[in-house]
Structure 1
Amino acid sequence: MTRETRSLPAHAPGAVDTPFVIKGYDEVVTHDTLWDAHSHPFHELLWNERGASSAVVGERVWTITPALGLWMPAGTLHSGSAAAGTWFRASFFGFRTTSSISDTPVAVEITPLLRLLLERLGEPGLAASSRAATEALVLDVLAPSPRELLVQVPTSGLLRPIADAVREDPGDRRTLADWASELGVSTRTVTRAFSTETGTSFVRWVATVRAQHAIGLLTRGWDVESVAEQVGYRSASAFGVAFRRTTGLTPGTFRPDYFTP
């Protein structure tokens, strides 16, 4: 399949005049698409109408879905990717007309109310008074989410082989002890390194990588049983428990028909 790479400029916050309060954009990508590192002069809320995409800031990788979006503060250098068929949406927030909800990228739950308000802003012929009222409501309900689909990718020579293997094949079932033996170190050494570099344990890190990969498959219509097998779980029920523990949501939340009116 054809892959498209897009290059965008890197702008400092407010470097370009953005007199609007909230401005929407959406697109269905027809090819697997990569966005090179860039930054915007405005704040941005990324979410999807259909499919899953990713955003990368440094060594942090977020998964963006119809249920969980990502707030990107103005001036934050980031890259991204989306599979063919993804319908992504973006809401741009004027740097001088709105305040950022966070100084760093942060997940945002796309609630039914927030979705309706953002969709209303896209209605043609919306009266100025109605737009102002709707924008005020968006800013009122917009808030960071305690849930986020974020993986901090370790870069040390010790952990990089593990990170590369698991991200390449989330179904890899090697345990912490297996990896320690392969690398010729103690399990305590690997445990400490994961905690230091990722802020979480090996088990939780692997579960998050698997959840990110699973979401990509679920949003493309894969059934739960097939996804569970693909990402290394022995049963759909075991996958469901791990997925809910990691994301706070059920796998069914990310099925395409979940968002069909």
Structure 2
Amino acid sequence: MIEQRKLPAYAAGAIDVPFVIGFFQERVDVDTCWPSHSHPTHELLWNQRGASTVSVGPRMWTITPVLGVWLPAGALHEGRACAGSVCNMSHFGIDSVEPIALEPVPVVITPLLRLLLERLADPGLNPTSRAITEAAAMDNLEPAPGHLSIHMPQADLLQPIVSGMVDEPQPALGLQQWSDRLGVSGRTISRAFQAETGSGYSRWVASLHAQQAMEMVARGDDLQDIAQLLGFSSQSSLGAAFRRNTGFTLSTFRDSK
């Protein structure tokens, strides 16, 4: 069972905040979903432990201790977190900082950036030290390179494919198998993926598997088990596919837990 937490939808700047960068943390004890909401501040989502996801429209990102997501103020988004995750939320006053992007973007949480953001959680930090730390955090905050999100198709034709693979990580069926199940040609399925996501079926599956592998590694699952679950012949083939799709190695996420 997933616990739902409803939050309000605020326009950018709708509420004045008494901080330049505020730090908030929550341990999630049960699988939790936050339906569509937005904040009056810019937000950086990043985890202390475990994995979560955030969706803006049809695009979804996986959040781990290594990879966060920047959300501009007022951006409607939905969130999910697995039980046992420790989720961090850094909020940025829109009148105090320049946004690093005007759309959602992934951010690499480097060890230095982590230390700076965590230091801002100290209520005893004196004003001078806080201002220096905030400036240093902004200097080290920038969008990550590479393709690190996945576009979830909305077409009715593709829902049996999308819902099955997203709800339960598994090896991908071939286009011919889906063609037989759905009663349409493989070319029709591929064109539907291309029209909605900008990539064909195989590329979409590769991106989905990369997101799922990232989430499973972040929560501590064994790499060989992940490879088998997703239909890869070996741990090394999973790692090679992951690097091709994200630019990262899986060990980056494994070593961060």
Question: Is TM (by shorter chain) over 0.5?
Answer: yes
Matches for 1:78-89 after TM superposition, within 5 Å:
78-89=77-88
Whether 1:163 aligns to 2:165 is no
Counterpart in 2 of 1:42? 41
Asked whether the equivalents of residues 171 and 233 of structure 1 are also in contact (C-alpha less than 8 Å), the reply is no
Count the aligned residue pairs: 257
SS in 2 for 1:259: coil
Question: What runs of 5+ residues in structure 2 fail to find an aligned partner?
Answer: none
Name the CA distance, whole Å, in 2 between partners of 1:137 and 1:155: 41
Q: How far has the Cα of 1:148 moved from its partner?
A: 4.7
- Aligned counterparts of 2:122 and 2:77: Cα–Cα separation in 1: 29
Partner of residue 229, structure 1: 228
What's the counterpart of residue 114 of structure 1? 113
Within 5 Å, which residues of 2 pair with 1:171-190?
A: 171-190=170-189
Q: Which moved more, 1:232-241 or 1:44-53?
A: 232-241
Distance 1:259 1:221 in 2: 10
Q: Summarize the Cα distance change of 1:228–1:259 in structure 2 as closer, same or farther, 3 Å threshold.
A: same
Q: Give 2:205's aligned residue.
A: 206
Deviation, structure 1 residue 151: 1.4
Partner of 1:259: 256
Q: Distance in 2 between matches of 1:62 and 1:249?
A: 15
1:53 and 1:65 in contact (8 A); partners too: yes
Q: What is the percentage of aligned positions where both structures have the same residue?
A: 51
CA contact (8 A) 2:4 2:32 kept: yes
User: Are 2:31 and 1:32 aligned?
Assistant: yes
Name the residue aligned to 1:22.
21
SS at match of 1:79: strand
* 1:243-258 alignment, distance < 5 Å: 243-255=242-254, 258=255
- 1:98 maps to a residue whose letter is V
CA contact (8 A) 1:19 1:96 kept: no
TM-align CA RMSD? 1.7
TM-score (structure 1 length as normaliser):
0.92
Within the alignment, does 1:194 sit opposite 2:190 as a pair? Answer: no
Gaps of at least 5 residues in structure 1 are: none
Q: Hey, what's the Cα distance between the residues in 2 that align with 1:5 and 1:164?
A: 20
Q: How far did 1:97 drift? A: 1.2
Amino acid aligned to 1:41:
P
Could you say which residue in structure 1 is the equivalent of 2:136? 137
